[in-house]
Structure 1
Amino acid sequence: MLFKAGGAAAAFSLAVSGAAYAAISAGDDEGRSSSGGSFGLIGGESEGQAKASATQKAGSGKIASAQTSTTTVDEPQVHGTVKKETDALPKGETKVETAGVDGLVRTTYEVTTQDGKEISRTPVAQVVVTQKVDEVVLVGTGAQQEAAAQAEQEAAAQAQAQQEAAAQAQAQQEAAAQADGGGEGSGNSAPAPAANPGAGTDPDSAKAIARSMMAGHGWGDSEFSCLENLWTRESSWNYQAENASSGAYGIPQALPGSKMSEVADDWATNPTTQITWGLNYISGRYGTPCSAWAHSESVGWY
């Protein structure tokens, strides 16, 4: 009986061992390899299959990698404007001294894109292709323009007076003859002041001499009224009047006074010489005393 029992136990043990081996063999086919260490049950899901499934599910969304490239861009630089004041131009007038030029800068960028969209741009190199040049504009202050214009006009008047010296001398001789009462006096007739040195040394007698000379220029009383206003403003009809700042002298305020030597050398002391020169100057430059007066009213001098 003991032998039979032992034999039955041995048979049962072999049966269990065979079943276990079958389970292990099945696990090698569906789970990890037998050398991997862990085993799955027959008909169950292995650990490797579970992880593969999870990885596939987690990766169902597409992951795009970033891409890097370079691009070069030309970028303009707008020029500026610089203003400089100058008294060489009339006040308020402007003039371009230097023309402005826009610049050009060439920049190379490193561009990063993902999914076709730019996500960053970094400059890696830059070179100036064209240097910008600022525009320079001169702005006139013109503080000395009036004085310069007056000096220019005076110089032109002096040149004209010199060119007409011969005609002025003849006019002086004719005027002197009229001041003596007319007649047929020759060109060598002495002027009235030679007989009366005090004539013209006061405003009234100076005006009388000037009025007597007006007809020689074809001017009437209306022109004398303008002349009276003009020389009252200039010198108050004082033959010794002198402008301390400019040097203008005499009844007509000749600038310089030595201009009147074209008529006679006694220009500094003889009112008739001064008046003769002054009327000739007005005739040559303005045509009439009223034109000279209008100019004086406009700019303050004639």
Structure 2
Amino acid sequence: MIYRAGGTAAVLSLAVSGAAYAAVQAGSDVIQPLGANRAALAAIGTSGTDSDSGSSAKATQDPMTVSGQSTSVTTLTQDEVQPHQVVTRETKELPAGETKVQTAGVDGVARVTYQVTWADDTEISREAVSRVVLTPAVDQVVLVGTGTATEVALAQAGDGKTPESAQAVAKVLMGSYGWGESEYSCLHSLWTRESSWNYQAKNPSSDAYGIPQSLPGDKMASVSSDWATNPVTQITWGLGYIAGRYGSPCGAWAHSEATGWY
């Protein structure tokens, strides 16, 4: 801090924050400090003497009136929680309107460095200058049901690629024909004889294919083009074939018993 008395200056050395600085106004009686702590300044109590007039001046708080604000810029680094997001996915495996959390959400953590601008002791702005993810957030995945009762039951039955799963699929699909347990018993016997419920079964002598032993196999393309690899497609086609030609699985089984084919 510099006081002017007459034309001679007495210089006082004052330790202030590294972010503070002085603004010098030419010809003024007091060089105004920016960013200085006023209480510290008032406690200095050091005087300077004017060699021309012999008068003395004492540094007190009163003459340190600041017409503007001190400004400074600092950096601040802190770890911050990064909230997880919620993602919804539709599925036919749940009844329409039902929801289920498939994956629980987990918040992440990021280390953020800010550039902070101060006016005196008041923060007036901050800007993020770097961000490092320490722990990534994990989205919460919520399933939203869109399935009908049949679609849900099929999802629970499985993909049909094992005999047990294929039989469960057949039971579900038979419901649309109004066939009960007795008809399923006939169907079970029929397709056990034909293919052992193997969706990849192929008759080497006739090229009949799949669980219902469609002849030829590509007849099942009337249901879907994935007939060679999708047991549900095969079962859907086979039940329709039985209904159209024999009326019911027991009718098809009776014909197979009599002739060895259906």
User: Normalised by the shorter chain, which TM-score bucket?
Assistant: 0.3 to 0.5
Relative to total residues, which structure has the larger helix share, 1 or 2?
Answer: 1
The two structures have a TM-score, normalised by structure 2, of: 0.42
